[in-house]
Amino acid sequence: MYTSYSTHLLPPQDRQDYWKEVVEQTYFPLEIRFANPSQFHGSLSQLKLDKLGLSYLASSSICFEREQQQICNELEPCFLITLPLNKSVHFSQANHSVCCQPEGFILERSDLPYRFSYDGDNALWVLRVPVCELKSKIRDPERYLYMQFDRRQGVGAMFFDYLQSVVKQALYTDPVTSAVLSNQLIDLLVLSLKNDDRVLMSHEEGIRRAHLVNIEAFVRDNLGRAELSPDMIAAACNISTRYLHKLFKESDQTVSQWIKELRLQAALSDIKTHRSTTLAEIAYRWGFNDQAHFCRLFKARFNCTPKEVRHSH
C-alpha cells in the first residue's frame, strides 16, 4: 500500500497540525518543534512492504522528540533505520548521541525516548523494522545502535541500492513477492551491520562474538531438529551449558526463547510463501512435534492462527 502527503497546498497556519497528524499516523506519537513555523513545508510518502514500513520524508528544519508517556501503549516496538540524503541529522537516545552524515545511516529504537533533528531543508529514507524481525536475523541488534554506518560502498551501498530498487518496483509486486523482498532487504541490512570494521574489531566482538557466531550458525543449521536444546548447542560449540546461558544473559531472551522465536518466524514465512505445503508439514519442518502445541504458540506470538495467516495470503 502506497500513500503520500504534502503541505504544499495548505495555508501556512494549518501546516503544523497537519504535519503532526501525518507523522504520527506514519510512525507513532511524537512531539514536533518547528524551527520556522510560518515557513514550514513538508512532504511524506509511505510504502507498506509486508512486515516493513518504508517512507521518504522531506521537510524544512524540524525537531522530533519521543517522550516516555508516548511509548507506554506501543504494541510492537521497532527499529528505525534512517538514511539522510541532503544534510546531517542529530540523534540522541539513552545518554548516547550521534550525528549522521548524508553518506551514512543509523539505527534507532522506537520504544525509548529520543530526540531527532536537522537544520535546513533535508530529505531522508526511514525503514521501520519490527524488533522481533531483526532479532530473528541477528543476535543482540541493540549493539549496533548509536553508530553511523557507511552506505557509499560495500554491503552498505548494496543495501541502499536495493532499498531504492524495491521502492521503484513495489507497486508491481504481489503479497508473496513483497514478503520475499522484505526478507532480502533485512538480510542486506544485517550483512551491512555485521561487516562494519568497528564491529568486527571491537573488544565485544572477540571471544564472546566468536562463540555467538558459532552458536547462531549451529542453531540455524539445526532449527528443524525437535531435540535441539541448550545442552546440545553447548556440546556442539565446545562450551559449557552454564557459559551458554551466561552469553545470553545480557539479552532479553533465554536460549530456549530465542530458538522458539526463530522457529515461529521461520514457520510464519513458510506459511506465507509455500501455499502447497500443509501446516502440519511446516510445523514438523521447524521442530514442532505437536501441531496443536505449535498452533497455540503461534497464536500467542502473532495473535492469529496459522490458518488465518494462510487464508489472508
Q: Do the beta carbons of residue 8 and residue 41 sit within 8 Å?
A: yes
Question: Exposed, middle or buried, 68 (CB in 10 Å: 0-12/13-18/19+)?
Answer: exposed
The CA distance from 47 to 166, in Å, is 10
Identity of the amino acid at 294: F
Q: Residue ranges per domain, the chain?
A: 2-200, 206-312
For the residues 150-162, what does the mean pLDDT come to?
A: 92
User: Cβ–Cβ contacts within 10 Å for residue 310, how many?
Assistant: 16
- pLDDT band of 173, cuts 50, 70, 90: confident
Q: pLDDT exceeding 70 applies to what percent of the chain?
A: 94
Residues counted in the chain: 313
Report pLDDT for 277.
87
Grid coordinates belonging to 282: 511446516
**The CATH number of domain 206-312 is 2.30.31.20:** no
End-to-end CA distance of the chain: 15
Give residue-wise pLDDT tens across range 186-240: 999 998 988 776 665 454 556 777 788 889 889 999 999 999 999 999 999 988 8
The CA distance from 300 to 76, in Å, is 14
Q: C-alpha 269: how far from its chain's center?
A: 16
Kindly report the backbone phi and psi dihedral angles of residue 253, in degrees, each rounded to the nearest multiple of 5, phi listed first: -135, 145
Report pLDDT for 313.
66
Axis-axis angle for helices 255-273, 241-248 (nearest 10):
70
- pLDDT band of 153, cuts 50, 70, 90: confident
**Beta-bridge partners for 104:** 150
Identity of the amino acid at 301: R
Report pLDDT for 161.
95
pTM value surpassing 0.75: no
CATH superfamily of 2-200: Jelly Rolls (2.60.120.10)
Report pLDDT for 142.
87
